[in-house]
Amino acid sequence: MLTGIAGLAVDEGRPLDAARLLGSSRWQDDGTQTPARIRVLDHVLSRAEQLLGKDECALEMGFRRDLSRKDAARLARSVLRGKVATS
């Protein structure tokens, strides 16, 4: 789920939030990787890297691996609110 919201973030021009969500999604997606989820993750990661650069994207993802579930949910809600507000 966070990977999909990261996709929304990158589409909305929020690559930092996308990288942060990708990093925090690691705890959520552990053990449930399917080929379709891997393709989505790879696509979103590629887009975030294009916008941020690989180093900055990796740095943000690394920092956010320790993001609490509560903080990850808060960030995801902020992305979704932005999406709803612009629809």
Identify the helix (H) or strand (E) that includes residue 83: helix 69-86
Residue 31: per-residue pLDDT: 60
Domain boundaries, the chain: 2-86
Query: Residue 48 pLDDT more than 90?
Result: yes
pLDDT of 33 strictly over 50: yes
H, E, C per residue of 21-50: HHHHHHHHHCCCCCHHHHHHHHHHHHHHHH
Asked if residue 48 lies in contact with residue 15, where contact means CB atoms within 8 angstroms, the answer is yes
pLDDT at 38 (0 to 100): 84
Q: Flag whether pLDDT at 16 surpasses 70.
A: yes
Name the percent of the chain lying above pLDDT 90.
48
